[in-house]
Amino acid sequence: MNFIHASDIHLGYAQYGLEERFRDYARAFKSVIQYAIDHKAEFILISGDLFHKRNINAPTYEQAYKVLSELKEKSPSTQVFAIEGNHDLAFHQDGKSWLEILNSQYLLKLIKIKETNGLSLMGDFIELDNVRIFGIRYLGSNTISTIPRIAEEIKKIRETNGEKYTILMMHFGMEGQIKHETAGEIPFNSLLPLKEVVNYLALGHYHMMYEIDGWVFNPGSVEMVSMNEYGLPKGFYHVNNKGPELISPITRSLKRIKLDLSNIQAPQDLYPNIAARIEREPSIPSGRGPLIELLLYGELNFPKSDIDISRIKEMLNEHFKPLYSEVKIIKTNSQYVLNEGDTRGQTREEIELRIFSDRIKLDGRYRENLSEIVNAMVEVKKMAAAGIEESDIQKELRWCFERFKNNRSLDDNDKKVIKHTEVKTLLSHFGELNDH
């Protein structure tokens, strides 16, 4: 046995609006493929979020096409099997995702939900000599209720086709891996039906590595997607007869520096303190410019507007010569403050889910459909930020509410819970959150 398990590549993400970061995610993907070529991997698993957006642009698709074509040319026997993560799913009106286009060009095999031979979900699977591979796309809040059906259908296939080493790819977050509960998380006990029929559960979604009970494996993202992932182990797995080994390729350096402002009484005293704090940091090896974040936190003893951010950035640029630097000021009296320990390992999307969940919980009418509404709010926020027409946003919302309206009776006011004006309010809240 010799395979690669990767997830959360996020091709197409121009982090901080930088073209160079856009290229970084392609470099990270290429490093996975090149490793697979060098180590003669039999197959590669991508357990969701190959792309960062559902509606990718041409340069993003070209990145995926070039890397996968190179694999096909240099190692034609190495197959790529993928599932759709939450970032990969097609918009309802589009019908097809970009992973389906790669599938149609035989650059990878997309494992999809398929009804066949009495199976309602797992009819599309891969039979290799000694391995059987299943996969199911991101299901969001429906994941937990679907797990028993998945286990039962895999059991039927094992009974019909014989037993093999069984891999199942899924895309969700495990409960307990990040500090705060997030919508859609799955408790480990809910996975126990799968343990009876699955040898290797190949997960994606959370961007840090974790392993549970010797059969659940999440490699994390290959490249950093959020500074909240700073310091967390991540990469991809190389699995052979010795077991899974986490491989962490060299990516762009990043550094988060923290300074408590509570004992600084005046703005003119701030800059010497920052200079001293920067000087204590070891130099970063030369090469591609690093990403630097300076986090100023604590009680402010003077107005925030008195802080010269440009001056601080000049200090960071002189010392580190970064590709990008950012200064964040976190005031402990802000309602939008999320402490580093609270958000460690969480992506921006996971933080958004948490904030949206708190908003919905304030209104008892919608708690029974919490996950569906929260996911819709996140999608609407993305669509609004992308400048998508209001009519298209309304279509997406109508489709969302159609999915769960049978669970309870929705009146017209319910169906307007996420109005365009509310979207603008949510975006303004995120503007304030970004300031902190």
246 within domain boundaries: no
Within this chain, do residues 87 and 139 fall inside the same structural domain, yes or no? yes
Confidence category of residue 386, pLDDT binned at 50, 70, 90: low
Confidence category of residue 382, pLDDT binned at 50, 70, 90: low
Half-sphere exposure of 424 (CA within 13 A, CB side): 4
pLDDT at 132: 97
pLDDT at 228: 86
Q: For residue 350, what is the enclosing H or E element?
A: helix 348-361
Query: Residue 292 in contact with residue 316, Cβ under 8 Å?
Result: yes
Within this chain, do residues 81 and 227 fall inside the same structural domain, yes or no? yes
- List the beta strands (DSSP E) in 278-403: 291-298, 324-331
249 within domain boundaries: no
Q: Is the pLDDT of residue 425 over 90?
A: no
Among 214, 241, 268, which residue terminates a domain? Answer: 241
pLDDT at 376: 72
Q: For residue 341, what is the enclosing H or E element?
A: helix 340-343
Within this chain, do residues 36 and 176 fall inside the same structural domain, yes or no? yes
pLDDT at 334: 44
Whose tokens are 């937990």? That residue is 144
Among the listed residues 304, 352, 355, the one whose alpha carbon sits nearest the alpha carbon of residue 329: 304
248 within domain boundaries: no
Q: Is the pLDDT of residue 402 over 70?
A: no
What is the C-alpha to C-alpha distance for residues 87 and 8, in angstroms, rounded to an integer? Answer: 9
Most confident of 15-24, 89-98, 380-389: 15-24
pLDDT at 141: 86
Q: Which residues of 198-232 are buried (b: 16+ CB within 10 A; e: fewer)?
A: bebbbbbbbbbbbeeeeebbbbbbbbbbbbbbbeb
* pLDDT tens digit sequence for 1-28: 999 999 999 999 999 999 999 999 999 9
Mean pLDDT of the chain: 85
Query: Residue 417 belongs to what domain range?
Result: 347-435
Within this chain, do residues 110 and 134 fall inside the same structural domain, yes or no? yes
Please tell me the total count of domains within the chain: 3
